[in-house]
Amino acid sequence: MPDLLIELFSEEIPARMQARAAEDLKRLMTDSLVEAGLTYAGAAAFSTPRRLALTVQGLLAASPTTREERKGPKLGAPEGAIEGFLRGAGVTRDALELRDEKKGQVYFATITRPGRPATEIVAVELEKLIRSFPWPKSMRWGAGSLRWVRPLHSILCILTDDAGTVQVVDLDVDGIRADNMTEGHRFMGAGRFAVSSFDDYRAKLRRDHVMLDAAERAEQIWQEAGNLAFASGYEMVEDSGLLAEVAGLVEWPVVLMGRIDEAFLDLPTEVLQTSMRTHQKFFSVKNPKTGRIERFVTVANVETPDHGGTILAGNQKVLTARLSDAKFFWENDLQAVRGRGLEGMAEGLTSVTFHNRLGSQAERVARIAALAREIAPLVGADADLAAEAARVCKADLQSEMVGEFPELQGLMGRYYAAAAGLPAEVAAACEEHYKPLGPGDAVPSAPVSVAVALADKIDTLTGFWAIDEKPTGSKDPYALRRAALGVIRLVLGNGLRVSLADLLVSADSQLCEAIKTGELVPEDASPEYNSLLAFLHDRLKVHLRDEGIRHDVIDACLAMPGNDDLTLLVHRARALSDFLKTDDGENLLQGFKRANNILTQAEAKDGVEYSYGADVKFAETDAERALFAALDAAEPAIAAALKSEDFAAAMTAMAGLRAPIDAFFQAVQVNAESAVIRRNRLNLLSSIRHICLHAADLTRIEG
């Protein structure tokens, strides 16, 4: 069975797209081969800056011939119907066959599709794939209309059979003719060469200084970098994202280590790292004795007679220029905060627009500060400190350093707050109030940080809600879902007992206040905190789903009072979820539903509500009397547990009702002949409903 080798050779493919493109090439090509009837034994895809490659082993040499039987019209059907059938099946009249069916004779057609050779199928499918390849961004070049990520230069496409005979697939895509040729490294290769199989391809590429496998390049980089660092008594700072990127920038990695000028070693570690990483794609190398970043590792794409001396000197020079800038910003910023304080730095925020309908950053900061002050006592923070932290938490947006490196926002705030002599809680809040940034990011726990973080996110949410910029579908340009999840995780992670509705109203009234004083346009006001609370509840459902709590369980708890207290809500939901997973819980739910159904039907039929207390004196059976007793015992137990917010205890008390309810339904006919007894039994069911609904709205549970 032949092996297939494809290489799409182009100008430099952006590093960030390579892995995904190789993956897509493999998936889409093998899928379409299988679809066309060509099964295979194995496949692997590779990428370098200039090529995507795919090897498929053990491909069928041809697709199998297939037969399909199709049932047509009856004998004697109108001529038009028969002709239509012939057209659809692609057969002639004499190929039809008449068969006896229950209702008479019917025409049958057998459609035979002959197998096609693999070369033909590959040619068709590869062309389709090239023309529709899912690049995140593609382009045209020259005078053609073909699109690729960058100009596509050549296509290698061969089938090699077991005897080693090579067949070039006959394919021409906009003038690019497939052949068995490729080339190696741009500067260290020896021109174009022919290949006869994947192994031959891989070996010849290596000879011409191309390491085909990105994982191998990454491994080599990391290993050599580690060796270089270790040999000088240093250690590498891990950065898997950068490693993957750098492996996509070279075909032949050559690792070089250089020194950071002494003058820059006082810069904050994060500044050094960020500057080297974003601009130069350098790895940071740490001196374990001093804990400082003192060296860098850069990865070149070429071996040189001077062992990289020229390359390293050039890189060092660029780094020095970059770090001179960073140092200049750092020193200017320090001087500014020492002179004017961080609040002085924050003054510039008055001229920075947050959103043209929500005012300036300074106005936003004022709102956050007022809100943080209000939240502070609820989270155990000092109100003055929280307000102070909020007033300076965005100041670093005005610093030169953050202007140059936006990703350092917050972090620089912490450094500058410390430099300005502000309390440690305030400095911490400058950094932590942005958190949690994503589902995996840690939730801050320092009270001042929590107060400001909550205020920041709630102001964002109420603001964009007020101007009706809510997320729709996949569009969430202001990251409001992330802000909502942030609020949820801050509350739950710290076990906070706050009424979100109160906070939303308060944040909203601040906005309205701003509107009154003319800072916002009047029509922008729309206090919609109810829909905002519903949005938060939606995000909570998504969050808890990941924890394995079903949406109907949350709905059952959301229907209870106090649902804007997320901590309480989640305690209830967890307890209910656990309860429903037990045997007692499952059966109690069924008993409750049965009681509720009977009751609802009776109420609909009789046009009355059965809520008047049932009386044990009308009980006729032991099962009935036992249920009375059980309900009498459970009601105060459940009430007490709920009062102390011990939902697990409330559920346990409910569990005690399961057996008496089951026994009741087994022994007793609710719709008794005596109207008095029937009414009494319905009232008894009503107290089951009444008691159970105290814990959660079980009517919302599915199943």
Partner 1 sequence: MTQDTVRPRSFQEIILRLQTYWAAQGCAMMQPYDMEVGAGTFHPATTLRSLGSKPWAAAYVQPSRRPKDGRYGENPNRLQHYYQYQVLIKPSPPNLQDLYLGSLRAIGIDMALHDIRFVEDDWESPTLGAWGLGWEVWCDGMEVSQFTYFQQVGGHDCAPVSGELTYGLERLAMYVLGIDHVMDMPFNDPAAPIPLSYGDVFRQTEEEYSRWNFDVANTDVLLRHFEEAEAECEAILSQDPIDPRTGRRIVMAHPAYDQCIKASHLFNLLDARGVISVTERQAYIGRVRALARKCADAFVQTEAGGAT
Residue 506 burial (10 A CB sphere; 0-12, 13-18, 19+): middle
Q: Does 398 bind partner 1 (CB under 8 A)?
A: no
Q: Does 352 bind partner 1 (CB under 8 A)?
A: yes
CB nearer to partner 1: pick between 17 and 166 = 17
Q: Does 305 bind partner 1 (CB under 8 A)?
A: yes
CB 303 → partner 1: shortest distance, Å? 9
Residue keyed to tokens 């009837």: 37
Helix (H) or strand (E) holding 536: helix 529-545
Tell me the CA distances in angstroms from 231 to 202, 234, 285, 304, 518, one per residue in order: 32, 7, 12, 22, 66
CB 221 → partner 1: shortest distance, Å? 14
Q: Give the contact letters, 45-84, x = binds to partner 1 (CB under 8 A), - = no.
A: ----x-----------------------------------
Q: Does 249 bind partner 1 (CB under 8 A)?
A: yes
Phi and psi (nearest 5°) for 679? -65, -40
Return the residue of 99, 140, 207, 690 that touches partner 1, per CB under 8 A.
140
Number of H-type helices and E-type strands within the chain: 24, 18
Q: Does 143 bind partner 1 (CB under 8 A)?
A: yes
How many Å apart are CA 128 and CA 119, to the nearest integer? 14
Residue keyed to tokens 């990105």: 214
Helix (H) or strand (E) holding 223: helix 214-231
Q: Does 350 bind partner 1 (CB under 8 A)?
A: no
CB 209 → partner 1: shortest distance, Å? 13
CB nearer to partner 1: pick between 300 and 514 = 300
| Bridge partners, residue 177, by sequence | 172
Of the listed pieces 225-233, 334-342, 348-356, 617-625, which binds partner 1 according to CB under 8 A?
Answer: 348-356
Specify the 3-state DSSP secondary structure of 386. helix
CB 145 → partner 1: shortest distance, Å? 8
CB 147 → partner 1: shortest distance, Å? 10
CB 191 → partner 1: shortest distance, Å? 13
Please tell me what DSSP assigns to residue 671.
Answer: S
Instruction: Give the rounded distance of the alpha carbon of 69 from its chain centre.
Output: 47
Return the residue of 319, 392, 420, 568 that touches partner 1, per CB under 8 A.
319
Return the residue of 153, 292, 470, 594 that touches partner 1, per CB under 8 A.
153
How many Å apart are CA 254 and CA 486, to the nearest integer? 43
Of the listed pieces 10-18, 200-208, 546-554, 585-593, which binds partner 1 according to CB under 8 A?
Answer: 10-18
State the sign of the Cα–Cα–Cα–Cα dihedral 265, 271, 277, 283: positive
Contact of 253 with 247, CB cutoff 8 Å: yes
| Bridge partners, residue 66, by sequence | 113
Q: Residues binding partner 1: what is the number (CB under 8 A)?
A: 41
Residues 6+ apart with CB under 8 A from 27: none
Q: Give the contact letters, 180-209, x = binds to partner 1 (CB under 8 A), - = no.
A: -------x----------------------
Q: Does 92 bind partner 1 (CB under 8 A)?
A: no
Q: Is the peptide bond before 436 cis (omega within 30 degrees of 0)?
A: yes
Q: Does 142 bind partner 1 (CB under 8 A)?
A: yes
HEC letters along 68-127: EEEEEEECCCCHHHHHHHHHHHCCCHHHCEEEEECCEEEEEEEEEECCCEHHHHHHHHHH
CB 249 → partner 1: shortest distance, Å? 6
- Closest CA relative to residue 275, chosen from 256, 257, 260: 260
Residue 499 burial (10 A CB sphere; 0-12, 13-18, 19+): middle
Return the residue of 58, 115, 117, 151 that touches partner 1, per CB under 8 A.
151
Contact of 244 with 19, CB cutoff 8 Å: yes
| Bridge partners, residue 138, by sequence | none
CB nearer to partner 1: pick between 100 and 262 = 262
Q: Does 406 bind partner 1 (CB under 8 A)?
A: no
**Site for partner 1, residues 413 to 452, rule: CB under 8 A:** none
CB nearer to partner 1: pick between 327 and 497 = 327
- The one-letter amino acid at 585: G
Q: Does 150 bind partner 1 (CB under 8 A)?
A: yes
CB 153 → partner 1: shortest distance, Å? 7
Q: Does 400 bind partner 1 (CB under 8 A)?
A: no
Q: Which residues of the shown chain bind partner 1 in the complex (CB under 8 A)? A: 11-12, 14-16, 49, 137, 139-143, 145, 149-151, 153, 187, 249-250, 280, 298, 300-302, 304-306, 310-311, 313-315, 317-319, 321, 351-353, 356
